[in-house]
Structures are given as structure tokens and as C-alpha cells.
Amino acid sequence: MKKAPWFAHPWLSVLLAVSWLLLQHTLAPFHLISAVLIGLLVPRLLHNFLPVTTTLRFAPALRLALVVLWDIVVSNITVARLVLGPMSRPQPAWVRVPLALSHPTAISVLASIITTTPGTVSCLIDEERKHILVHALDCSDPLQMAADIKARYENPLLTIFEPRPDTPGASP
């Protein structure tokens, strides 16, 4: 059985250490040492329960974050107009979005993005049929909405999470 490295989950370690310091409201030496120990020990103890870490590509992740933030703002305005409009007649629809993603974290992030964007909720991830079922508050063209979700969110997630062909361990 292979031993887990001490710093196998660096972002989790940093997040735990920073969270500890924020909760303590002090940078006293005792709390700095405690933060480092918590940041190192907790991920090490939980290593068998944590998923394998993924190397993220920073530039595509930043672009996706900006697209998602923009879409959240635009969707908030659209939903507000739809809900508060005097003659609004929303057309709710179920949209089946086929998945090209296979990385479990990427699929979870896609479902979270869909749910975070006002007016849409990801209701089901069907792993056997490889699709996400999305409920849209107002959708006149489900096929176009599925294509938009794939283009705006899934394609960048493929770039961020899926292994490149030239990466060791990646399947051709």
C-alpha cells in the first residue's frame, strides 16, 4: 500500500490553515503553529476519503469564472423582469444536456454552475445515460439551451479538468 504524501492536497491544507487563523482572529505564534499542524494533519488523516487531486489549468478556470459571473448577473436581471413583468408568461421546460465530461469533479462543477445561475436548476445527473437534466424557468428552445450550456460551461470544463493527450497517464 502506497503512503500518502504529506502535502497531497495543498489547496485544502492552505484553506484549513487560513480558516483556522480567521476563526481565531489572531496571528499569535501558538495559532500559527496550530494552523500549520491542522493544515498538514487533517488532509493526511482524511487522505483515503478525499478524491485524487486534479491539476487545474488556471487561465481557462479564470475565464470560466468570469463567464459564470457575467451569466449570473444577466440571468438575475432576466428572471427579475420575467417574475416582476406585468404580462410575463414563462415557458418552463426540462432540458436534457448530454455530457462529454467524465471527470466527477467537473460534472459536479457543471451542475453547480447550472444551479447557481438564476432560472435554471440541475435536477439529475444520469451517469448511465451521460446527461444532466435541467429545469429551466423560461425556455422556448431546449435544444438551443443545451447547446449554450455545453458551449459556455462544459467546453471550458473539458479544458480545465480533462487530461491532455500528451499528459502521462492520459488515454489516447
Q: Which residue has the higher pLDDT, 65 or 163?
A: 65
Q: What is the pLDDT of residue 7?
A: 67
Q: Which of 30-34, 82-86, 154-158 has the lowest mean pLDDT?
A: 82-86
What is Dmax (Cα atoms) for the chain? 65
Look up the CATH number of domain 58-161.
3.30.70
Parts of the chain belonging to CATH 3.30.70? 58-161
- pLDDT above 70 for 162: no
* Consecutive H or E run containing 136: strand 131-136
pLDDT value at 171 more than 50:
no
CB-based burial of residue 127 (10 Å sphere; 0-12 exposed, 13-18 middle, 19+ buried)?
exposed
Average pLDDT over residues 59-87: 91
Contacts of 99 (CB under 8 A, 6+ apart): 107, 110, 130, 131, 132, 154
Quote the pLDDT of residue 169. Answer: 45
For 137-143, what is the mean pLDDT?
93
Report the distance separating Cα 77 and Cα 84, nearest Å: 10
Distance between CA 33 and CA 102 in Å, rounded?
Answer: 39
pLDDT of residue 40: 86
Taking the C-alpha atoms of residue 61 and residue 59, their distance in angstroms, rounded to an integer, is 5
Sole residue written with cell 462529454: 100
**pLDDT, position 66:** 95
Instruction: Collapse the DSSP code of 119 into the 3-class scheme (helix H, G, I; strand E, B; otherwise coil) and give the result.
Output: coil
